[in-house]
Amino acid sequence: MQIPIPNVPQVPLLTTEQIAQFKRDGYLVLPAVLDPERCRQVRDDMWETITAYVPRMQRDDPSTWGPLTEEENKKLGAQLPEIGGEPYFNGKGHRFYIRNGAEQPLLDLAPRAVWQVAEQLLGKGTVVWPEGHDASGFTTGPCFMCDDTVGGLASHLGEAVKKYPEKGSFTTEADFRLPKTGPVWLNGQGTRGLYCTLPNSPAPGPNYQGAHSDGACYGRWRMQIAAYTDDLPANSGGFTVWPGSHARIWPEQWKAFNEGEKHTDKHLKVRKAGGYNDPEILRIKADTEPVDCYGPAGTVVLWHTKILHMAGQNQANDMIRQATIYGYLKTPEALPDELVADNSDGDIWRDWSDEVRQIDEQG
């Protein structure tokens, strides 16, 4: 696979101290590293989209930014693209989504600007390039077809899912095609789009019910990013993480997988480590204080894909939490399927760069 050199300004490479911190905590906040002009453009585009879909919300009047009603949710949910995928704009209560993640402005803003850092951490020439969609509105990229992936297809493709496999093969399809508003994070071709939280969102409750670790341990994701396109003060819905949880969830999930448990095993009352109520997750919540990752527009949070996380509560009256999330995939050439579904040596940093592997996380 030919990996192009991104023609957007690059976020500076990380220092040894930053890499050590990332390894230890499982996340790292890089304040205001993205191009302010591109952030502004994405905000302007967001408001244009909001105006088209929910005209009652006015950009200059935060009192109009109330939660989406049932009726609005129903109407938005019915606007399905013909080629498959999710509605371009959808939302429920205090959350709304714009599925523009495979479009060039969002790709240039974040995944491509963080490209040299992604390669620094995961190894040069080993990361899937986010090309985005083609003229027909489809994206093409490698996809590891585990049961979780196939399950994700059903909830994000609408009717079009009938054309896709129903069961996981646990092998990679090299040129897997997905419509641009579909789950384009599965083939590495797009971000999740804009994930937004309206002001005064409800409290997560004492047990942080929504906290989770993304997907399964097996697969091609290693590092993900959350990027903020607007200022995000503290307690305004920032990406919330439990420091160090990556290093606890990783071995527990592999252990469970090796014992025959899949991430999709919903019939098990409690699984071992990945879900909302699994024992390891409960232990982490009991002994670790979560951290709210906030920062000015253009802030990027780098995170190990297994870290326990959730979107925080937006307690602001006049800010919309605006974030896009992208997961970098290891290429099939760099990480063959045998290794995707095997971590027998238990090494959490096995698939990362030599530089990362050599740095001691205790600093």
- Judged by the rule CB under 5 A, the positions of this chain that interact with Fe ion are 214
Cα–Cα distance, 208 to 265 (Å, whole number): 22
Using DSSP's 3-state secondary structure scheme, residue 139 falls into strand
The CB-of-214 to Fe ion minimum distance in angstroms stands at 4
Q: And the tokens for 211?
A: 């906290």
Nearer to Fe ion, 91 or 123 (CB): 91
Name the DSSP letter for residue 61. Answer: B
**CA proximity to 179, closest of 150, 132, 137, 141:** 137
Q: Which residue is nearest to Fe ion (CB)?
A: 214
CB of 158 to Fe ion, least distance (A): 21
CA 285/CA 183 separation, integer angstroms: 29
Residue 150 or 307: which CB sits closer to Fe ion?
307
Cα 41 to Cα 9, 164, 229, 267, 272, distances in angstroms: 16, 35, 9, 45, 43
Shortest distance, CB of residue 183 to Fe ion, whole angstroms?
13
User: How near is the Cβ of 228 to Fe ion at its closest, in Å?
Assistant: 16
Of 148 and 214, nearer to Fe ion (C-beta) is 214
Of residues 160 and 311, the one with the C-beta less far from Fe ion: 311
Tokens 């969002």, residue located = 106
Instruction: Give the shortest CB-57-to-Fe ion separation in angstroms.
Output: 25
The minimum distance between CB 212 and Fe ion, in angstroms, equals 6
Q: What is the DSSP letter of 55?
A: T
Among residues 47 and 276, whose Cβ is nearest to Fe ion? 276
**Dihedral (Cα; 261, 266, 271, 277), 10-degree rounding:** 160
For residue 269 the two structure tokens come to 């009352």
Report the residue number, 16 or 155, with the smaller CB distance to Fe ion: 155
Q: What are the backbone angles phi and psi of residue 157, rounded to the nearest 5°?
A: -110, -10
